Structure 1
């Protein structure tokens, strides 16, 4: 199937804002003139080392909440630090969290894809999903995927490109919509996920600096996060269909035809095999539920919790994704004849890994840069300086919340980890806002808005290079600039509209979540 975006509605709806298109095109051109992402991370690594040497002699007054001591910049160019960097280089790379997540999940997904299982599922999905609702459906699935930690990055985003391509729409628009839902809407979800207790633990610790007896409910932002899901879906839907897809209408899909799935009418044998494979998948899910149900299940923590990060279930999400795709994929492949023996299954896994070779190279340099950036303390210093500046402004409460959102979004460009960022900002912002009468629940909600909005425009986010690889499957010359320009409208819209939504939500007095409040002391 050969297609470009010109065969969709963008042909009939010319750009209403040519200035915006020119700006985005300019960003794309400039961004794509940057070195290859792998080289960019290498240059960033060198820059961090040089800046660490430059600032290591300065004395800073900000207190690092992690150590309770004045923060300092560690010189990475000392003999001891260089020796440590070199001796741990292999471990730094192999322990890079996204690398294992992506490769293990892709082994299972590769079997399901090469067998034709995913292909048949998409055919059936396209039959029952109206074309007008395809975009919001993908965004909502992307938002819900947060429940399974990083599953959205390795499953939903690439599948969105496949689905859009099969529907005759530009695949990059599908990838953009899913990326906006998975990463731009990272802190929104109808379903409670592991991110809730993770953030709550830092919020409660920070709040206890002022009120030692205060308790923060892990679901203190659940209602707001649920309502935000609808907002993100609506914003993403509009931007995808009215801005991104029309702009892509002249971007040809010129990827390797061998890498782009071909879609033909589903046969009776394929339909039967698909539903039998789905049946096997549901049996697997039922077995998992049965194993997790008892209070003393080995998949729970000692306290009987399932939805916290330390629970074996949460730590097993990626292996479970592997099993829940590889087993139905094998069943489907055997039934339709694409898998005749075990060698065919291994060949499918090998092919899926070969498509990840470029990402592995980028992950190597990315992991070294992130490690050096963290070890230097430069990112922590940026976060603490920003929080201190906000505190010194003594702004009105509403303006302070807006400033809190924008501060978080800015820091997020340099410190990608949500928990690491909140560990730095939380101990400063939560007590500070409590002292002007704003609750930890409201401060955490503001943090979640800012933390999500700028995820999709920073190449320093560990999964950003992976999304570039997904795009290159369809458009060969996709670079960092292409993805940044494509995602910038989502980022700006989410930052402005989601912040406004938080203020409106606050103004209406709607509950943020369970046992939550807007004021401190709680009224």
Structure 2
């Protein structure tokens, strides 16, 4: 086939991709803000509760053995109760405290420069032959520092590849695939873990009021997933993307920000001391946990049951570890001149959480109404009965859930908002089928990650286009999406197969994370 014919085929495929992505963008832009979605959902629950309360469905709650009746939330007493409890419903919403406490510590470590210097150090010691997997691994680790990967690692990927004589766009898209497509793959606990676990727990309690979800219930799975994602992105980059990019000429000869990957001797010294302080803290924690009479153990002497103080302290420990390392780094490097700078770093991390707090307020009211009306229990029991009737294998059910999540993710980018919407319905239904909430959460995390990189509604997608335009000025949204599509498809297939194999081998998903739920 001639180069002319090849270029025509490439243009045609991009044209189709552009039309598809433009359609997704138009539909997605019409979707209200997540906070409004929960407000509208609250109104719908009120109306539905008034309507459905007129009927007797004859459902028996499998845990309590009582008859499930839909409660009318539009009565005077119910509305008065909603107003009376509105504040406490919000302040007692489980995910809020968990996320905010974790982000306080991570925010200090990020503002000090500790995390950024650590990422740079990892890339600078990497041999050229291992540049791609190292870049992807660092991109995955960057999830610990919120959005650092988007503003640091992705443009740095272009610089490193260009300096190594490789096409810079390959470095940008490989880093983008690691940062965004592998969003839920990480062997280091981050604020995402307790955030999703909080919503999973609230969703599970729609059916089982006593159910608890450990914030690290997916830790082992997401940690091993890092290896899978690195392998997939490495293969796709060097075997699919780079050969195609050979036909795409670079418009510039050099990148202006060549020092983005460098760090000073002072920063190196600060990082070493901060890393040592974090390791010392972890070692101290281990030593304190060893004695059988340790205060960190449960009354039975276990460290991993829900009642163990160690398990209840995971989020505060994340806060303390990142706080210590951030303060040490900031003091040595000079980014923290005094104690006020530390508090300012915390204030900055909290200011970034204001959209989350607004969404959480309406989400808390929605979930409370969803639970009080018994509509959630009704949907869970009826949905479970339907799925049992069609007798679909549990593995296929999980695959369908991943596909559903990936599809919804094209329109609703926020991981927490999407799970807060989907979790209260999907988690109880799957519990009715014997699938544990922790497994449902793991499946959700796959779907939530793999389609990020092809959605133009993802807030950083236009920024990645700009990064690409530094080297190839004609790069557009469709161009980037067409490059990311092989990553998205490969990760969907490979990561889903990994979860099924992981499940079949009965490898623990994380701490206190069963695969099955028994009513």
TM-score of Structure 1 vs Structure 2, range by shorter chain: 0.5 to 0.7
Inter-partner Cα distance in structure 1 for 2:401 and 2:57: 20
Q: Which residue of 1 aligns with 2:400?
A: 406
How far apart are residue 139 of structure 1 and its match?
Answer: 7.1
Show the counterpart of 1:214.
none
Any conservation in 1 of the 2:136–2:175 contact (CA below 8 Å)?
no
8 Å CA contact retained: 1:61, 1:70: yes
Given candidates 145, 164, 170, the residue that maps to 2:153 is: 164
Say if 1:31 and 1:135 are closer, same or farther in 2 by CA, change over 3 A: farther
2:506 is matched with 512
Question: Is 1:35 the counterpart of 2:24 in the alignment?
Answer: no
Indicate if the aligned counterparts of 1:160 and 1:178 stay in contact, CA closer than 8 A.
yes
1:346 counterpart SS class:
helix
Match of 2:46 in 1: 49
1:429 equivalent in structure 2: 433
Describe the SS at the equivalent of 2:433. helix
Aligned to 2:104: 107
Distance 1:415 1:66, change over 3 A: farther
Per-residue displacement from partner, 1:471-511 (whole Å, max 9, x unpaired)? 899999xxxxx9xx9999988876665555677789xxx74
Distance (whole Å) between structure 2 residues aligned to residue 415 and residue 63 of structure 1: 27
414-423 or 109-118, larger mean C-alpha shift? 414-423
Question: Are the aligned partners of 2:236 and 2:487 in contact in 1 as well (CA < 8 Å)?
Answer: yes
* Aligned twin of 2:132: 132
Query: In 1, distance between residues paired with 2:109 and 2:440?
Result: 38
C-alpha distance 296-458 of structure 1, shift in aligned 2 (>3 A): farther
Residues 71 and 381 in structure 1, CA contact (< 8 A), matched pair in contact too: yes
Equivalent-residue separation in structure 1 for 2:327 and 2:502 (angstroms): 48
Distance 1:494 1:35 in 2: 29
> C-alpha displacement at 1:271, in angstroms?
0.8
Distance 1:235 1:310 in 2: 39
Mapped partners of 2:382, 2:138: distance in 1: 38
1:278 and 2:275 equivalent? yes
Match of residue 84 from structure 2: 87
**CA apart distance, 1:106:** 2.3
Q: What's the TM-score once normalised by structure 2's chain length?
A: 0.64
Greater displacement, 445-454 / 80-89: 445-454
CA contact (8 A) 1:405 1:449 kept: no
Change (3 A) 1:91 1:475: farther
Q: Spell out, residue by residue over 1:318-353, the C-alpha distance to the aligned partner (whole angstroms, 9 max, x if none).
A: 222222122222222222222222122222222222
Give the CA RMSD over aligned residues.
5.0
Q: 1:49 to 1:400 in 2, by over 3 A?
A: same
CA distance in structure 1 between the partners assigned to 2:341 and 2:500 by the alignment: 56
Instruction: Give me the TM-score of the superposition, normalised by structure 1.
Output: 0.64
Q: 1:408·1:447 contact (CA, 8 Å) conserved in 2?
A: no
Q: 1:167 to 1:385 in 2, by over 3 A?
A: same
How many pairs align?
Answer: 420
In 1, Cα distance between equivalents of 2:299 and 2:421: 27
Name the counterpart of 1:5. Answer: none
Task: Say if 1:452 and 1:64 are closer, same or farther in 2 by CA, change over 3 A.
Answer: farther
SS in structure 2 at match of 1:102: helix
Measured after TM superposition, the shift of residue 78 of structure 1 is 2.0
Assess if the C-alpha contact under 8 Å between 1:405 and 1:447 holds in 2: no
| Residues in 2 aligned to 1:223 and 1:105: alpha-carbon distance in whole angstroms | 20
Pair 421,450 (structure 1): closer, same or farther in 2 beyond 3 Å: farther
Partners of 1:371 and 1:489 in 2: how far apart? 41
Find the counterpart in structure 2 of residue 305 from structure 1: 302
Q: Does 1:383 align with 2:387?
A: no
Please give the alpha-carbon distance, in whole angstroms, between the structure 2 residues aligned to 1:356 and 1:25.
Answer: 30
Query: What does residue range 61-460 of structure 1 map to in structure 2 within 5 Å?
Result: 61-129=58-126, 130-134=130-134, 136-138=136-138, 141=141, 155=144, 157-168=146-157, 177-178=178-179, 180-181=181-182, 183=184, 230-231=227-228, 234=231, 263=260, 265-394=262-391, 399=393, 401-403=395-397, 405-406=399-400, 424-425=428-429, 428-430=432-434, 450-455=443-448
Task: Describe the superposition over 1:288-326 as per-residue Cα deviations: whole angstroms up to 9, x where unpaired.
Answer: 111112222111212222233332222222222222122
- Secondary structure at the counterpart of residue 296 of structure 2: coil
C-alpha distance in 1 between matches for 2:157 and 2:401: 40
Structure 2 contact 180–449 (Cα < 8 Å) conserved:
yes
Q: Does the CA contact (< 8 Å) of 1:175 and 1:471 recur in 2?
A: no
Instruction: State the 1:19 CA deviation.
Output: 3.6
Give the whole-Å Cα distance in 2 for the aligned partners of 1:330 and 1:56: 56
Q: Distance in 2 between matches of 1:335 and 1:366?
A: 42
2:306 and 2:423 mapped to 1: Cα distance? Answer: 12
Contact 1:139 1:178 in 2 (8 A): yes
Report how far residue 127 of structure 1 moved: 1.2
Go from structure 1 to structure 2 and tell me whether the alpha carbon gap of 1:225 and 1:362 turns closer, same or farther (over 3 Å shift). closer
The structural deviation recorded for 1:268 is 1.0
